[in-house]
Structure 1
Amino acid sequence: MSDQKIRNMEEFAALSGISRPTISKYFNDPTSVRPTTRKKIERALERFDYRPNMYAMNQNRRLTKNIGIVVPYLADPFFAGIARTIENRVIEAGFRPVLLGSHGSREQEIENLDNLRLIKPAGVLMAPIGRVSDAARISAFCDEIPTVLFDANIEGVGAAFVGSDSMQSIGVIVEYLCRTGECPAFFEMKTPSNPNAFKRRAAYVATMERLGHDPRLIQVDGEGWDFEEIGFREGTRVLSGRDLPTDTILCSNDRLAIGLLSAAYQMGLRVGLGDGCALRVAGHDDHPFSRYTCPTLTTVSQDYAAIASRSAETLFGLIDSQTPGETRETTLFDCSLVMRGSA
C-alpha cells in the first residue's frame, strides 16, 4: 500500500489512470461501470487506500429539497404518530418530506433507501427495523447521504442517533411496581424484532438486581411485528399454566401488553390494583391505544415530540454544514411514568 496522501478524487484519478467522471460513477454505483474498469479501480483503491468524502460529493450534486423519512411499520400508530411530527418539522423548515414504510421487511427497507437515492434527498431520517436490518448496506447509504437514525440504533451507522434512555425508563417503572406490590416478571419475545427490546431486558435485569430482587424473565415464542397476536397467544399459554412467579407482569412493549390484557380478560382474570384483582400488567411506550384498554394500561411514555424535533434539527444542521461531525452524536431522552388502572 502506498503511503502517498491523496487529498481528493482528482488526484486519485490521475494516479489510477482512470477518468474523474468514471471514478465518480463508480462511487455512486459500482455496478454502473464495466467489470474490467471496476477491478482496475478497486486495485487502485487497495494500493492507495483512498476513501472519498461522500458528503463533499453530495455538495456537488444538484440536491433536491426532499427529506426522506423511513419507519419500520406505518400501520403502527406509534410510528405513524412520530412520523407525522417529523413531517411537520420538515415542512416548517422548508423541505419536502418523503415518507416510506418498510413493512417490517429487511428487503423493503433496502428498497426504500434505493428509491430515495433516485430522488437525491438533502438528507434522511430513519428508524431502522432493527435486528434483521442489513447494517452494512444501511451504513453504505449513510456514507453517501446525511442520515440521522431515531428510535432504534445501529451502532456506528449514520451521523447521529436520537432515542429514549431504556435504563432510565425501565428503572422508573420497575421501581414503581416493586414499591406498590409484588416485583414484576418481564414478559418478552425470545427473538424480538426491535433492538430496543434487548436494552429493556438488560435494564430490567440490572434494576431488579440493584433493588436486591431476582430477575424473572418470561420469554415467549414469536417473530415479526404482530405483537398483539403474540401477546394474546403466548399470554394465554402462560396464564393457563398458573405457574407465574409473581402476580405482576411488565411487558417489553405496550403492544405485547395489550395482547396479554386480552388473554387475561378471556380467561376471567381481573387485572388491576385492589381487592379481587389477580394480576397487574404494565408496558412500555405509552402507545396511543394504551389509554383505551380495559383496564387502561400503566406504562412509561417516550417523549415523541422531543425525539422527533431533535432528530430533525440534527439533520438540518448536517445539511447546513455539508460535512459530518468528528464523532457520532447520540441523544437519549428520559421517559415518564404513566400510572393507570392496570397496575
Structure 2
Amino acid sequence: MSRPTLADVAARAGVSVTTVSRVLNDRGYLSDRVRADVHRAIAELGYRPNEVARSLLGRGTRVVGLIVPTVADPFFGEFAAAVEANLADRGYRTLLCDSLRSVERETASLELLLAHQVAGVITSTHNDDVGLYRTAGLPIVALDRRLGPGIPDVRSDNRAGASLATRLLVDAGYRRILFVTPRDDLGSARRSGYREVVGAHGLTESLLAYGFGSSLDERRALIESALDEGGYDAAFCTDDVSALMAVEWARTRGVRVPDDFGVVGYDGSAAVRHLAPTLTTVLQPVDRLADESVRLLMQRIESPDGDVPAETVLPVTLRRGETVR
C-alpha cells in the first residue's frame, strides 16, 4: 500500500493542497472547521509529513538527533527520556541512536542523522576521536565530552564527585580502595578526584579499567577477578551498575558490606535509587544536564553565530546509603 500524500489528505478533507500545507505549517488564517477537517483526514489516512522535504523548503525538520552509548544503562536511559521530554515541550521530536559503545556505530549514527537533515545533535557517547563531529556543519552539544571548538560540553562536577566518594570511604576507615572505571585515562576528572584523596592520605592508587566496549558479563568477570585477587576493602565505581556488581561479588563471597567491604557508585539514576536504595552513590543532576543540553542546542540552532559557553559544569551530591560503614 502506497504512503498517503498531501494530495490524498486534501481530497479527503475537501480542500486544496495549499490549504493542507497551511494547516501543517500553521500559516495564515483558517477557520476552525477547515483545520478540524484537515486534521481528521490526516488521522484517517495515517499521513506523515515528509520532514526532509520540509527542510528543503526552508522549514527545518524540527527533529533533533540524540546519540547515547547504550539505553540499557540506567543513567543514559534516564538522560534520553529527559532530553526527549524537553525537546517535545519545545515542539521538536527526537531521533534516538544507540551506538552500543562502538566507534563504527557512532559514526554511522551521525551519518544517518546528517542524512535526515536533523536540526542538531546531542551526543553522550565517549568513544575516542569521531572526527565527523568537527565537520558535520550543524549545531552539536556534547554530554561530558570535549569534541572541539564551538561544541559546548555539559557535564557534572566529576572531580568533586569523585573526591566526595573517595573521601567518604577513607574517612570510614577503608584503606585498599579499588577505582573501577571504563578506561585507563590519566586525565579523567573522576580519576583525578580519586587520586588526590588517596594520595593525600598516603594510600596506594589501584585501578581497574574494564573498557567501554565490554559486555556486562565481561565487566562482571573483570570486577570479580580483581576483587578476588587484590585484597581490597572497598571499591569506588564510576557507574552504579559496576558498583552493584561489586556488592554482588561481596554477597557471593560471604564478605560483609559495609563492615568488611565498602562500595560507592556514581550516577544515581531513578531506577537505581528505587531498585537498590541501599547503594551509596554520587548523584548526577540528570534532569538539569538534559535541560542545559537542550537549552544550549536551541541557542545554537536559533543563533548559529552566537556565543555559548565552552563548558557548563553542574554540581553533584553524595547520597549516603548502607554500603559504607
**TM-score, normalised with respect to structure 1:** 0.70
- 2:268 aligned with 1:286, yes or no? yes
Matches within 5 A, 1:115-134: 115-128=112-125, 130-134=126-130
Asked if 1:173 corresponds to 2:177, the answer is no
Between stretches 60-69 and 90-99, larger displacement belongs to 60-69
Name the residue aligned to 1:329: 310
Q: Aligned-pair distance for 1:290?
A: 3.5
Counterpart of 1:137 in structure 2 is 132
Q: Does 1:185 align with 2:180?
A: no
Q: Which residue of 1 aligns with 2:249?
A: 263
Instruction: Tell me how far 1:282 sits from its aligned partner.
Output: 1.0
Q: Distance in 1 between matches of 2:138 and 2:69?
A: 19
Contact 2:102 2:127 survives alignment (8 Å): no
Question: For the structure 1 residues 280 and 304, does the alpha-carbon distance in structure 2 shift closer, same or farther, using more than 3 Å as the test?
Answer: same
Q: How does 1:144-293 map to 2 (within 5 A)?
A: 144-150=137-143, 152-183=144-175, 185-189=177-181, 191=183, 198-209=188-199, 212-220=200-208, 222-226=210-214, 228-230=216-218, 232-241=220-229, 243-244=231-232, 247-272=233-258, 277-291=259-273
Residues 290, 228 of structure 1: CA spacing in aligned structure 2 closer, same or farther, 3 A cutoff?
A: farther
The 1-side partners of 2:112 and 2:186 are apart by 27
Structure 2 CA distance for aligned equivalents of residues 94 and 160 of structure 1: 22
Give the superposition deviation at 1:225: 4.5
Structure 1, unaligned stretches of length 5 or more?
Answer: 1-57
Change (3 A) 1:222 1:257: same
Q: Say how many residue pairs are matched.
A: 270
Shift of 1:232: 3.1
Change beyond 3 A, Cα 1:291–1:263? same
Structure 2 regions of 5+ residues with no counterpart? 1-54
Q: In 2, are the aligned partners of 1:258 and 1:290 still within 8 Å (CA)?
A: no
Counterpart AA for 2:87? V
What is the RMSD computed on CA atoms of the aligned residues? 2.8
Any idea what the Cα deviations from partners look like across 1:199-245, whole Å, max 9, x if unmatched? 21111112333xx313433333633354753553233323333633x
Name the SS of the counterpart of 2:244 in structure 1: helix
Partner amino acid for 1:208?
V
Specify the SS of the correspondent of 2:266.
coil
Alignment partner, residue 106 of structure 2: 109
Identity %: 24
Q: In the TM superposition, what is the alpha-carbon distance from 1:317 to its structure 2 partner?
A: 1.1
| AA matched with 1:286 | G
Tell me by how many angstroms 1:334 deviates: 0.9
Kept after mapping to 2: 8 A contact 1:205/1:215: no
**Equivalent pair of 1:146/1:318 in contact (CA under 8 Å):** yes
d(CA) in 1 for partners of 2:225, 2:299: 50
Q: 1:97 aligns with which of 91, 94, 99?
A: 94
How far is 1:296 from its partner? 2.1
Aligned residues of 2:174 and 2:262 also touching (Cα < 8 A): no
The 8 Å contact of residues 284 and 317 in structure 2, kept in 1 or not, is answered as: yes
Q: Which amino acid aligns with 1:145?
A: L
Once the two structures are overlaid, the 10-residue window that deviates more, 220-229 or 172-181, is 220-229
CA pair 286-225 structure 1, distance change in 2 beyond 3 A? farther
Indicate if the aligned counterparts of 1:233 and 1:263 stay in contact, CA closer than 8 A: no
Q: Distance in 2 between matches of 1:59 and 1:147?
A: 20
Query: Which residue does the alignment assign to 1:297?
Result: 279
| Structure-2 change in CA distance of 1:216 and 1:293 (3 Å) | farther
Work out the CA distance in 2 between the residues paired with 1:110 and 1:336.
Answer: 34
The whole-number CA distance in structure 2 between the counterparts of 1:190 and 1:217 is 16
**How far is 1:331 from its partner?**
0.2
Q: CA deviation at 1:260?
A: 1.2
Please tell me whether the aligned partners of residues 74 and 272 of structure 2 are also in contact (alpha carbons under 8 angstroms): no
Q: Check whether the contact 2:101–2:213 (CA below 8 A) recurs between aligned residues.
A: yes
Q: 1:295 to 1:285 in 2, by over 3 A?
A: closer
Give the alignment partner of residue 74 of structure 1, picking from 33, 49, 71.
Answer: 71
Give 1:268's aligned amino acid: G
CA–CA separation in structure 2 for the residues paired with 1:72 and 1:196? 21
CA distance in 2, matches of 1:302, 1:198: 16
| Contact 1:178–1:184 under 8 Å retained in 2 | no
